[in-house]
Amino acid sequence: MEFDGTLVKSDDRGTRQRVARSILVEGPSTAAALAERLDLTPAAVRRHLEVLVEEGAVEAREPHMPKTRGRGRPAKVFALTELGRETKFDQQYDDLALQALRFLAESAGEAGVMDFARRRASFVGDRFAAIRAEDESLSPAQVLAQVFSEEGYAAAVRELPVVGEQLCQQHCPVSHVAAEFPQLCEAETEAISAVLGTHVQRLATIAHGDGVCTTCIPNRVAASTGSAHVSTNEKERVTS
């Protein structure tokens, strides 16, 4: 019986990891959405969510209220906490990186830290052109999502009616360090602006307590970046 119990506990841990990863990749989600994505019953998902909430890995949030509400109370969404990101996905940038940047700040000042941040963010420019050349049908936001995903950011693109597209990074491999050194976020934003040829602004960052990093890319970017093979409808969807 103990053996069977051990197997059950191991399976439960594996399922909870799947639940947590789904939230990481897709962003804050309702229990119903998680059940559908993971092919589980809503009751099973709620049971695993309860454990994750008790562990402090996940928190329940009130959903954003639509302008026109239907009947009934809207379902809560579940988002990863900082503790959840650390314990579930091995987010270990900590003392060494922070100590190195603190030393750099003391020895070279803010300019030195920014130079380092820009060098680190150079992967955006280095990979953007290559991925764009491999598949010219991708919108600029889609190319950026692939660039950042390759670097561990679990990035995706969300359509924004009228405005364009939104680059969403569900995970940030440097969020702990960026919380103290926002130059890392600033340099990434600069790099995005550089490859798109236009100013963009991040609306939210994980480093500052938000559940996801979001950057809006306006509609005009598709035309200005030479996306000759992108359809008219796709051009109208492009944003940051």
Residue 91 has pLDDT above 70, yes or no: no
Q: Which domain holds residue 186?
A: 95-237
83 and 33 inside one domain: yes
52 and 122 together in one domain:
no
Cα gap 190→89, rounded to integer Å? 27
Domain boundary among 43, 63, 89: 89
Q: What is the pLDDT of residues 37-57, one digit of tens each?
A: 999 999 999 999 999 999 888
DSSP designation for 187: H
> Could you tell me the pTM of the whole model?
0.61
183 and 218 share one domain: yes
Asked whether residue 67 falls in the same domain as residue 160, the answer is: no
Number of domains in the chain: 2
Q: Are 51 and 147 found together in one domain?
A: no
pLDDT, tens digit, 9 for 90 and up, residues 112-162: 999 999 999 999 999 999 999 999 899 999 999 999 999 989 899 988 877
Other Cβ atoms less than 10 A from the Cβ of 206: the count is 25
Same domain, 79 and 108: no
Over the stretch 182-225, which tens digit does the pLDDT of each residue have? 999 999 999 999 999 998 989 999 888 888 899 998 876 654 55
The single residue listed with the structure tokens 């209220």 is 65
Residues 104, 206, single domain; the answer is: yes
- Give Cβ neighbours of residue 91 (< 8 Å, ≥ 6 apart): 85, 173, 175, 176
The residue out of 89, 107, 136 marking a domain boundary is 89
What CATH number should be reported for the domain holding residue 139? 3.90.1520
> End of a domain among 64, 89, 114?
89
**pLDDT value, residue 70:** 55
Residues 85 and 100 in one domain: no
Determine the average pLDDT of the residues in 89-111.
82
Q: How many CA atoms are closer than 13 Å to the CA of 130, on its beta-carbon side? A: 8
Mean of pLDDT values over 74-98: 75
Kindly report the average pLDDT of the chain as a whole number. 81
* CATH number, domain with residue 38: 1.10.10.10
